[in-house]
Amino acid sequence: MSSGNSYYDDLRMKPEVIDPSENEDTLDIGEHVNNISESASKPNAAVSTNVRELLECPVCLNAMYPPISQCSNGHTLCSGCKPRVHNRCPTCRHELGNIRCLALEKVAASLELPCKYQSFGCIGIYPYYSKLKHESQCAYRPYNCPYAGSECSVIGDIPFLVSHLKDDHKVDMHSGSTFNHRYVKSNPHEVENATWMLTVFSCFGQYFCLHFEAFQLGMAPVYIAFLRFMGDDNEAKNYSYSLEVGGNGRKMVWQGVPRSIRDSHRKVRDSFDGLIIQRNMALFFSGGDRKELKLRVTGRIWREQ
């Protein structure tokens, strides 16, 4: 039963695997390794803890960037937090005024720091004022958990997330580049927003997430199936996939490129980048009296040459 208030409900409905014999291989789940590769150190790369603390805003605890404000007693805070404290120093409560801490800004300009994603493998050292831009694009920045049925806040690299999906979310894990699932739901007319259990496929040395769910497209109840790639977008473009549903002598086929899990599940779904089936058509494909959803979805993943 769907919730009237939530955007979608995690119904934890498992797709039926039509031919399980093809998917019995055990996935080799890599462990999440936090060891950091040794990096070539620069002479000024080591920054004392005291200097880093000076550059930490006492309100938001983030690194400060110009203009850095200070009170008459020399206490500093970032420009973003200045309006939040109503022009009062959060340390001594004196009026802040418009004093700018040029000395601290110059100290920051002389620093070179490691990327904050060092524990995920980044060994780069960056000037203080370039570090933020790098981190927003760092290839080693962690991924969000791709599980769609709940607001999971877990982040990590791909091997860690694969283990997390398997152990914590109990998702279906399969090996191979082809699949044949059947999604079943009684009383489908009562379900407007629902998510079936995520399925993860291992093939070509990569991992792919198959999503299937019901939602409202305008006023029309529809189902959507789509594939996401567990990696970055530039790698995702090396693969393609097809999805097919059918019954009663008819079929629908979708072909596309899997989206990176850098794009959220909701972003992909709301861009309609997948196989969309109206509910009436899905029930027609299901056969019988059209009162129960029995939708068979077959698909294939391949590497582009």
Q: Kindly give, in sequence order, each residue whose CB lies less than 8 Å from that of residue 130, ignoring residues fewer than 6 positions away.
A: none
The tens-digit pLDDT sequence of the chain (305 residues) is 444 444 334 434 555 554 444 433 433 323 333 333 333 344 444 455 677 788 899 999 988 988 999 998 999 999 889 888 988 899 999 888 888 999 999 988 888 888 989 988 899 999 988 998 999 999 899 999 999 866 789 999 999 999 999 999 999 899 999 998 888 777 766 666 677 778 999 999 999 999 988 888 878 888 899 999 999 999 999 999 999 998 878 889 999 999 999 998 889 988 999 999 988 888 888 776 767 788 888 999 999 97
The per-residue pLDDT for 229 is 97
The alpha carbon of 302 is separated from its chain's Cα centroid by a whole number of angstroms, namely 23
What count of other Cβ atoms lies within 10 Å of the Cβ of residue 190?
A: 10
Q: Kindly give, in sequence order, each residue whose CB lies less than 8 Å from that of residue 298, ignoring residues fewer than 6 positions away.
A: 178, 179, 180, 181, 243, 244, 245
Q: Which residues on neighbouring strands pair with residue 195, listed in sequence order?
A: 10, 213
Q: Kindly give, in sequence order, each residue whose CB lies less than 8 Å from that of residue 56, ignoring residues fewer than 6 positions away.
A: 62, 63, 64
User: Three-state DSSP class for 183?
Assistant: strand
Torsion sign, CA atoms 267, 270, 272, 276: positive
Give me the half-sphere count of Cα atoms (radius 13 Å) on the Cβ side of residue 237: 2
Which tokens sit at 19?
Answer: 């031919």
Is the Cβ–Cβ distance between 17 and 180 less than 8 Å? yes
Exposed (0-12), middle (13-18) or buried (19+): which is 187, by Cβ within 10 Å? exposed
**Distance between CA 222 and CA 247 in Å, rounded?**
17
Of 109, 137, 143, 111, nearest in space to 125 by CA? 111
